[in-house]
Amino acid sequence: MSEPKAPTPAPGDTYKGWLFKWTNYIKGYQRRWFVLSNGLLSYYRTQAEMGHTCRGTINLATANIAVEDSCNFVISNGGTQTYHLKASSEVERQRWITALELAKAKAFRMQAESDDSGDDSTPPAAGQGAGSRNSEVQSTLRTLGSKVEDLSTCNDLIAKHGSALQRSLSELEGVRLGGETSEKIRQVTERATLFRITSNAMINACRDFLALAQTHSKRWQKALQAEREQRVRLEETLEQLAKQHNHLERAFRGATVLPASQSNPAIDSKGPVSGKGDASDEDEENEFFDACEDVQEFITVPADPKYHRRSGSNVSGISSELGMDDGTTSLDEQSLASNPESPQSQELVPVRKRRTRIPDKPNYSLNLWSIMKNCIGKELSKIPMPVNFNEPLSMLQRLSEDLEYYELLDRAAKCQSSLEQMCYVAAFTVSSYSTTVHRTGKPFNPLLGETFELDRVQESGYRSLCEQVSHHPPAAAHHAISERGWTLRQEIALASKFRGKYLSIMPLGSIHCIFEKSTNHYTWKKVTTTVHNIIVGKLWIDQSGEIDVVNHKTGDRCHLKFAPYSYFSRDVARKVTGVVTDKDGKAHYVLSGTWDEKMEYSRVMQSSRGGENGADGRQKTVYQTLKAKELWRKTPLPEGAENMYYFSTLALTLNELEEGVAPTDSRRRPDQRLMEQGRWEEANAEKQRLEEKQRTVRREREREANRAASPSEEGKESADGAEEVEIASEPSETTYKTETLHGSHPPAYSMEGPYGAPVKSGHQDNYKSMWFEQLVDPVTGEPTHIYKGGYWEAKEQGNWDSCPDIF
């Protein structure tokens, strides 16, 4: 059976000659014709067989070449192929060794280049000319590179043989004239011959390299000149486009610029976007752009040029077309971008100087897996965790950090349009996650009855109170009220699961924001927080899910989507997109940004179906929008934050000791204070003491509740032992009462009448919170804890006698 034919050698890359090949012990070495070409060494019985029968071929790219003696050498690929070869002389053997080494180096490079470029695709038909030129240049560069590698190999061989020749000459100098003279002279002659052969190979490689470089020099010059001409043409085209763009800007500015009397040059540049009346600045304000697109839900494109030519009087007409309330002002380039009465425009002088640093975090090592391996599938609140995984703040303080960017609500309270107000509220919901991007530490679980107050009336116009109202499941109630016309309240219960590789935290409960002037009532829920790489790797946090911010008075809605991180996604990480719609579902604004950096809005001028098909097969909505304006931007972290648990400026002040706070305040918690001071071992011991004390108190309450339970009440209990919850069937008949900031009850709903009765406690120990009362929310219909008043009055009087001793 004949073997495959040897490849046809390319001119100049082939080496041929007779060698003796070992066959077997009977025939010994047999004379064969060997051909070295394209990194392959093939052999034939005679030269006549080259055209039809190849007796064997070995690939030098993976072969090993070894010299046995003056004439013998071995070539093996490490597998089944091994050639034992013998040359007629040492000089002939060295010629073959040199040729084989050069061919092996070249074959190895070509194989590596083939692996690297195996995924390269063919250029499109429209660019075949440029693609072919590029392919030709790449081929030439590979050839030149190959020649350079040949020169390098030859250089190594010359150095090797030159050293051998020098040694022979040195030995010859020390030889006396006699019988061994002729032998030494013969060795020197052979060394000199080998050096000459290698030098000739070097010279030939240099000659080939020079000839190839000269051949392609003119072609490269022409290609370079063509690239230069193309660059000049592109620059001219860009210049023309810039002129056309400038012309459009001027046309639009002439149509929509406000009168000088309406401009406000006094607006502080510290606001998110400047709105100065300078004409050059208005160029930037009225520029149109391609808004960031959400690949899964909708597409935004620049607005139609017809909107550029609208006159100033037509701008108000657009407001009515967009469905604004009568007599209100639309959210145009001046409205959201700047607010002369914004808190960001006014320097507030704090009454007291807050701290800007806490002790650096100690560098303690701890084996996480040894603690977590027995906790898979359990709720996080039921896992005994050392403080090594915590940060020196409680969950109540973390909840208060939602007010980090309270000025967004201050600005929203001044808005005339509910849709404009919705944009600010949506930005506020996103801003509450910005502090979590680097915060991988777990906050302390609050003790039952623990509170935290954040009194910033003199500095920022608001005061906030949180209380832990339930321990299993953990739930905290929060109430904040501002002198600038808004109230924020929420009850958040955490459902968390440890899944082995990651930790999922699902906040349950609604957040309410009520504006006093417009009586607009907004609600939304939080998204899921995921902590990745719990066991191996660097911890990192992601937020994912969807939020619907609803205005229950007007029916306006903002749908926000937090895109989960994906390694294969082309979008920016931590992306958030949203659309603000009215009660009829008509889109007015598109929101885009990231939850760890900033949020922007774009006004929708027109929307239509007809974009790309989404994952569900439906066509995406295409929104024509104006240029994006900045709503919110994250404040940079303080210097050295990486050594202070990545706390923000506000977070650094939350655990600062203050006089007059309740004895149940988180600032007074001893284990948390010890951890902040770096005394972690003492903090762990104190944490265990507090938890055991809380369990003892809870067991005592349960015993008292069982003793006080009457038979009639026991009969009302459900099958599983939990008490039934009475839900108001007609919350519309509930009477709402609101009072002022300094009154006995801040703006919160007090529920009266037959449908506003308090909800019975679901806790087995009948625990009742100190400052909050569980009622049925009249808007959502959910049982929730609402502030019932009395805390700030007790603080003014310094009377905390009713507070339990939890620490």
**For a pLDDT cut of 70, what percent of the chain falls above it?**
71
Residue 730 has pLDDT above 60, yes or no: no
Confidence check: pLDDT of 729 > 50:
no
DSSP 294: B
Amino acid at 172: L
Taking phi over 0 as left and psi of -120 to 50 as alpha, with beta for the rest, 766 belongs to left
User: Is the model's pLDDT at 287 over the cut of 60?
Assistant: no
More confident residue, 366 or 62: 62
For residue 307, pLDDT beyond 60: no
CA dihedral 140, 142, 143, 145 (to 10 degrees): 120
Q: How many CA atoms lie within 13 A of 41 on its CB side?
A: 30
What's phi and psi for 558, nearest 5 deg? -125, 120
- The mean per-residue pLDDT over the stretch 701-730 comes to 54
Q: What is the pLDDT of residue 678?
A: 92
**pTM value?**
0.56
Lowest-confidence pick of 362-366, 502-506, 601-605: 362-366
For residue 230, give every residue at least 6 positions away whose Cβ sits within 8 Å of its Cβ, in sequence order, or none. none
For 750, list phi and psi in degrees, rounded to 5. Answer: -100, 135
Query: Quick check: 613 pLDDT over 80?
Result: no
pLDDT exceeds 60 at position 692: yes
For residues 712-748, one letter each, b for 16 or more C-beta atoms within 10 angstroms of the residue's C-beta and e for the rest, the string is eeeeeeeeeeebeeeebeebeebeeeeeebeeebbbb
Task: Output phi, psi for 220, to 5 deg.
Answer: -65, -40
Mean of pLDDT values over 405-421: 95
CA pair distance 730, 753, nearest whole angstrom: 11
Query: Cis ω on the peptide bond leading into residue 473 (within 30° of 0)?
Result: yes
Question: What DSSP element (H or E) covers 214?
Answer: helix 181-256
Q: Which of 587, 570, 568 is nearest to 625 (CA)?
A: 587
Provide the token pair at 767. 């625990």
Confidence of residue 567 (pLDDT cuts 50, 70, 90): confident
For Cα atoms 119, 123, 128, give the angle at the middle one, nearest 5 degrees.
Answer: 150
CA distance 205 to 156: 14
Identify the band that residue 198 occupies on the pLDDT scale cut at 50, 70 and 90.
Answer: confident
Kindly indicate the confidence band of residue 167, based on its pLDDT and cuts at 50, 70 and 90: confident
Q: Report the range out of 102-111, 406-415, 436-445, 677-686 with the highest average pLDDT.
A: 406-415
pLDDT in tens, 741-770: 444 333 333 333 333 445 444 445 678 899
Q: Tell me the pLDDT tens digit for each residue of 624-661.
A: 888 899 999 999 999 999 999 999 999 999 999 999 99
Average pLDDT, the chain: 76
Span of 28-42, 309-323, 346-360 with lowest mean pLDDT: 309-323
Which comes out higher in pLDDT, residue 236 or 315? 236
DSSP 8-state code for residue 337 = T
- Cα 244 from Cα 234, distance rounded (Å): 15
Q: Which of 135-144, 239-248, 333-342, 743-752 has the highest mean pLDDT?
A: 239-248
What are the CA-CA distances from residue 505 to residues 496, 531, 544 (Å)? 4, 8, 11
Q: Cβ distance 604 to 624 under 8 Å? A: yes
Considering the chain, what percentage of its residues have pLDDT values greater than 90? 35
Fill in the amino acid letter for 149: E
pLDDT at position 477 is 96
d(CA 238, CA 244): 10
